[in-house]
Amino acid sequence: MENNLLDDVKKKAQLWLDGNYDADTKAAVKALMDNADTTELIESFYKDLEFGTGGLRGIMGVGSNRMNIYTVGSATQGLSNYLLKEFQGQEIKVVVGHDCRNNSRLFAETAANIFSANGIKVYLFEDLRPTPEISFAIRYLGCQSGIVVTASHNPKEYNGYKAYWADGAQVIAPHDTNIISEVNKIKSVDDVKFAGNADLIEIIGENVDNVFLEKISKLTLSPDSIRRNKDMKIVYTPIHGTGATLIPKALKMYGFENIVDVPEQNVLTGDFPTVVSPNPEEPAALAMAVEKAKEVDADMVMASDPDADRLGIAIKNNKGEWILVNGNQTAMLFIYYLLTRWSELGKLKGKEYIVKTIVTTEMIASIARKFNVPYFDCYTGFKWIAAVMRENEGKMQYIGGGEESYGFLAEDFVRDKDAVSACVLIAEVAAWAKDNGKSLYDLIQEIYVKFGFSKEKGISVVKKGKSGAEEIKEMMSRFRSNPPKDLAGSPVTIIKDYGTLRQIDLLAGKTTELEMPETANVLQYFTQDGTKVSVRPSGTEPKIKFYIEVKLPLANADEYEAVNAAAEEKVLAVKKSLGLE
């Protein structure tokens, strides 16, 4: 079997040596073929880098299973072909943006040239920009589509390519599968039109920045609180990424005047020299910013990931120690603040709504119910939040939506998660809390006392390469066919299988259909005592993800630390039940 695979791989690599590829690419392919260790050769060619429903993402390098100008070229030609079919006889316009990663500018310019070679008008950002601004620009400039070259918060070896539709959201059905079909029809490098038409490429930048920032500056619900706390000391780091271009400006436009940077992390580079991983979900990524906060005695720390769509924050607890706030807690703070202020300002008219993903804390649902505001559950990923927004456009007013993975969207003029607006909003929440004699830590405790304590833990099991993908598939199959009967001693009462769109109520002994737009490879288990566990393979990384949420009562803030410790023990017990210990 392995010999057959190696033979197939060598044949595929030979096509690259014989084909219309540049000299550097051919030299790199030959080096792989000449290497006695065939591991890298196999990983680079054993399959084609799949254009999935989220676009492309992979390790950079030569080969059909790597991010390079040829895989980006095939994706862009396929998307161009679909746009030309879908919008026959119309002027077609697209936006092209990119992040700070190595080769991102090259890939963006390659895509711009291919779109223009196909007669499509291109608005190409002059330099790196936050992903949410690309979503905004598609809507603002009246485009039918757009792409952003980014691998979000993946390690430095990765890059990616996200495709958007006319509403500024990542593509979903039917466009996603139709685009994939067109991309799969590109069988040769000769099918790709690489020679661009400069007349169809327009460089954009500050003209779009200014409109985007102006709209964000109007989101404020507590301008007086900001005015009274304008000197609040905020440490911000872009972690070498695109947030540096807009977030400090946005904070200042909003009224915050005391922004402290982390100079070493202002360096815009895809090498991410100060972090192992540029992911604000990981404590190490915020370590330098927290040290800076201690040095200057800051009020809070905020960090955005390389494409500035995710936000991580750190705050002081009541002992003056710096702690990290997880994505569920941040989303909870946002929703609680937005609904409280909308209610206080008389803006809740009965036609507003919020959105969360199925793996995000149920605290958000509890808060929404308290304010009598409808909430929608959707699949993981902001394209699904955007789909809910699209369905409700003109019928209901969007207030906000978020997910546990540090993404939030506080406005309807963008259709992807947005760290630019999230940064200014969390600063506003802090200013409002301070105005009311509280810290953000106090506010988190207040929410838990009102709605019950909830602790969430995300666990990712990494399984790399071809063998890893097979292991993940096997693990999902095992959980589906042999679900846990109890978690931490509490019986499982409900199983939701989004792969079959079935909900099994074990207490009632009945099965019902889940109302979702399509199937997804996600399993959820709910127990008698309120524990929720979600299991799914990552769509962008070689991981299987487990999302654990446990519930405990919290009578008052004085019990917070004891209840938090008890919840930690409960999470460990749930992990053990899942075989993760």
Active site members: 152
Query: How far is residue 428 CA from its own chain's centroid?
Result: 23
Rounded-to-integer distance, Cα 36 and Cα 547, Å: 41
Q: Which one, of 314, 75, 47, 45, lies nearest residue 181 by Cα?
A: 75
Rounded-to-integer distance, Cα 284 and Cα 281, Å: 9
DSSP 3-state of 147: strand
Helix (H) or strand (E) holding 130: none
> What is the chain's length?
581
Structure tokens at 92: 């077609």
DSSP H helical segments within 87-174, as ranges? 104-117, 131-140
Rounded-to-integer distance, Cα 160 and Cα 103, Å: 10
Sign of CA dihedral 81, 87, 89, 95: negative
Rounded-to-integer distance, Cα 209 and Cα 223, Å: 22
Beta strands 532-537 and 543-552, pairing class: antiparallel
Q: Which one, of 452, 453, 459, 478, lies nearest residue 572 by Cα?
A: 459
Rounded-to-integer distance, Cα 551 and Cα 50, Å: 39
Which are the contacts of 224, defined by CB distance < 8 A and separation ≥ 6?
435
Rounded-to-integer distance, Cα 44 and Cα 55, Å: 18
Alpha-carbon dihedral of residues 319, 221, 312, 357, nearest 10 degrees? 120
Q: Which one, of 60, 74, 65, lies nearest residue 111 by Cα?
A: 74
Rounded-to-integer distance, Cα 137 and Cα 133, Å: 6
Rounded-to-integer distance, Cα 407 and Cα 426, Å: 12
**Residue 129: other Cβ atoms inside 10 A:** 26
Rounded-to-integer distance, Cα 467 and Cα 267, Å: 37
Rounded-to-integer distance, Cα 535 and Cα 531, Å: 13
One-letter amino acid of 159: N
Q: Which one, of 150, 149, 143, lies nearest residue 168 by Cα?
A: 143
Region at 523 (left for phi over 0; alpha for psi -120 to 50; beta for the rest) = beta
The residues with which 397 forms a beta bridge, in sequence order, are 352
DSSP string for 436-493: TT--HHHHHHHHHHHH-EEEEEEEEEE--HHHHHHHHHHHHHHHHHS--SEETTEEEE
